[in-house]
Amino acid sequence: MSKQRYEEASIRVLKGLEPVRERPGMYTRTQDPTHIIQEVIDNAADEALGGHAAAIQVTLHRDGSVSVMDDGRGIPCGLHPEEGEPTIQLVFTRLHAGGKFDKTSGGAYAFSGGLHGVGVSVTNALSRRLEVIVKREGKRHFMAFEGGEVVTPLVVQGNCPVRQTGTEVRVWPDPRYFDEPGIALRDLERGLRSKAVLLPGVSVTLIKETDGEALTQNWHYPGGIAQYLEEQVPAEGRIIPVVTGQQEITEQHPAADTYSVGEGILWALTWVEQRPMQGESFVNLIPTPDGGTHEAGLRAGLFEALKAFIEHHGLLPRGVRLQQEDIGARLQFVLSVKLLDPQFQGQTKEKLTNREALKLVTLLVRDPFEHWLNQQVESGKKLAEAVIQQAMARMKSGQKIEKRKSSSVAVLPGKLTDCEAERIDERELFLVEGDSAGGSAKLARNKLTQAILPLRGKVLNSFEVERNRLFGNTEIHDIAVALGIDPHGWDEQPDLSVRRYDRIIIMADADVDGSHIKVLLLTLFFTHFPALIRGGHICVATPPLYRIDVGAYGKRPPRKHYALDSQELAGLEERLRAEGVREGGWSVGRFKGLGEMNPEQLWDTTMNPQTRRLTRFSMTETDWSQAQGIFTRLMGKSESAARREWMESQQVTQDLDV
């Protein structure tokens, strides 16, 4: 391998437009030539922005070239006082030459699209040929370039009326520098339309030459950005009417010491019922599709103004906190900013980075918008209501709680004692009230087929709880994870083959509290796991409330019986009497809860498939409709009056243990 030499001659100096041709991606977008044409259009728009042009015309020629014509002042054609060559030649052949560097009051462009100083010189560098015609001071000047170099020096082709001025540039892009040789027509049309929007009264025309008759499009917005936004957002889709404003730093403005005279903003905005498209922003007529500090300033100013309005009228509900994102969620806007010294991210100027622009826009938006809100109080309150609803939705969304997971697998609750069987139809889960009953159940269960999940305290009334907030309750989270299926609605068809148990058995005490827990769990399954009820997978265990111990008599050994309730107890006692058991030959004990049962008793009465008594719940479509009304009346938070009326009509009474 030969050694590479590194010496004085190794250092290469790129001159003129060579850097652009060597690294075009550093100066423009190379996907297609649209951006180098836009640079020419921007020059024409800067003339209009300064009030020197009233018409811009772009023509797509059949040979692939593009021409841009304006009726501005025309590029100066005389010799440059310092460089000693025609000024127009400097503009098209020097990277850092142009009329946009001089920002003094006498400068040619106080407000223009940037200070990168590459503009049409990049267009020239990346074109096979470029021709420029200038009408100025009663003469028609012509100059041509190929590959960025002068091929036809500046010449005067004739005379023209003194008042007839302007510039026409025709460009033949060089396809070697671009991925696609054609102009992106949609981007070009969008850019031309934006120029017409931001330059009220200026006519912008696009002509597309074809083999037949040329196609012409014209954009003209005498009403400016307000007219444009009203066309984009139909009246029926707006929350408030389109609001417009224009503010500028003057010599008398309090911030004149901080910002330059003439800097300012123009905006039109509204809020829409549906989520809007991306807002449109511009800096000195340059589109900034990636936004930047000026858009951040707009949102900050609107936020401060609306927040002050809401606080002044006492509209904010307790516990709700507004954020800027609530203001911007349904905001549709067009923002145009004039800056003396704009700084962009990259040569393509798609994002503004000036820090002072944020403060400037905030300053110039807040007071006028707050004034509008206080002048249009009804519209202001309507907007405030929409923003507050957005904030509440955001807060509710932020409370959404997912299943706790590890390595993408739901982690089974630590208090779950699982069973060993692999076949789903053999597995059953007992939801047991309390840790003490859970302990007895663990000892009493069949380890092969029965799993135990003890529940601490009463489960949350989930009838009106939104699905995405269920897992905020620990007990419901653990139940859902143990089941292996996610919450769903009646009309949904979840995949029950992934469930972990075939039967879910609610096992609670045979008292008032136990009944309440059963109702809360049934409400959970009815509202958020209806497929389990529809499939007959939900059961309720019926543990006994009484134990009857019968002493030995005759040849019969001592024995015990269990009664579910007082009525069954009375029936058992009658049967004992009929058997000849003397009065006082038995004793009755009352279970205060499952926790008082020893494992043997719990197995015999409640868990043994051969001796237990279960109530299975299932439901048809008709049952569901009827049950929905009952659940609403009994479990709805706002249905206390209906519950009281129902209880009185049913003459519901309850014996209490005191």
In the block, tokens 């939705």 appear at 393
CATH number at residue 323: 3.30.230.10
Note if 433 is an active site residue.
yes
Residues 453 and 411 in one domain: yes
Judge whether 599 lies within some domain. no
Report CA-CA distances (Å) from 352 to 119, 122, 160, 357: 17, 21, 41, 8
Range of the domain at 576: 545-590
The mean pLDDT value for 70-90 works out to 87
Note if 418 is an active site residue.
no
Q: What is the pLDDT of residues 460-469, one digit of tens each?
A: 888 778 777 7
Could you tell me which residues are beta bridge partners of residue 238? 272
Among residues 168, 475, 509, 604, which one is catalytic? 509
Model confidence at 347, pLDDT cuts 50, 70, 90, reads low
435, 454 contact by CB (below 8 A): yes
Model confidence pTM above 0.85? no
Residues 79 and 161 in one domain: yes
H helix intervals, 399-495: 435-444, 474-483
Report d(CA 365, CA 358) in Å as an integer: 11
| % of the chain at pLDDT higher than 90 | 27
CATH number at residue 637: 3.40.50.670
177, 30 contact by CB (below 8 A): yes
Paired tokens of 497: 């083959």
Among residues 71, 433, 475, 478, which one is catalytic? 433
**461: Cα separation from own chain's centroid:** 31
Model confidence at 414, pLDDT cuts 50, 70, 90, reads confident
Report d(CA 510, CA 517) in Å as an integer: 10
Residues 95 and 230 in one domain: no
H helix intervals, 412-498: 435-444, 474-483
Judge whether 500 lies within some domain. yes
Per-residue model confidence (pLDDT) at position 104: 45
Judge whether 431 lies within some domain. yes
Note if 295 is an active site residue.
no
Task: Using the 3D structure, point to which of 342, 368, 398 is the last residue of a domain.
Answer: 398
Q: What is the pLDDT of residues 298-310, one digit of tens each?
A: 999 999 999 999 9
Residues 353 and 422 in one domain: no
Per-residue model confidence (pLDDT) at position 112: 47
Residue 94 burial (10 A CB sphere; 0-12, 13-18, 19+): middle
Residue (of 455, 457, 454, 456) closest to 439 by Cα position: 454
Judge whether 385 lies within some domain. yes
Question: How confident is the prediction for the chain on average, in pLDDT?
Answer: 82
Q: What is the pLDDT of residues 104-163, one digit of tens each?
A: 444 444 444 443 335 788 898 899 999 999 999 999 999 999 988 999 999 999 999 999
141, 156 contact by CB (below 8 A): yes
Residues 435 and 528 in one domain: yes
Per-residue model confidence (pLDDT) at position 642: 64
Judge whether 598 lies within some domain. no
Per-residue model confidence (pLDDT) at position 303: 93
The mean pLDDT value for 428-442 works out to 83
Among residues 513, 574, 600, 645, which one is catalytic? 513
Among residues 18, 248, 418, 511, which one is catalytic? 511
Model confidence at 349, pLDDT cuts 50, 70, 90, reads low
Judge whether 610 lies within some domain. no
Task: Using the 3D structure, point to which of 188, 219, 250 is the last residue of a domain.
Answer: 219
Task: Using the 3D structure, point to which of 348, 378, 398 is the last residue of a domain.
Answer: 398
Residues 526 and 416 in one domain: yes
Note if 511 is an active site residue.
yes
Neighbours of 123 (CB within 10 A): 29
Residue (of 238, 244, 206) closest to 225 by Cα position: 244
Total domains in the fold of the chain:
4
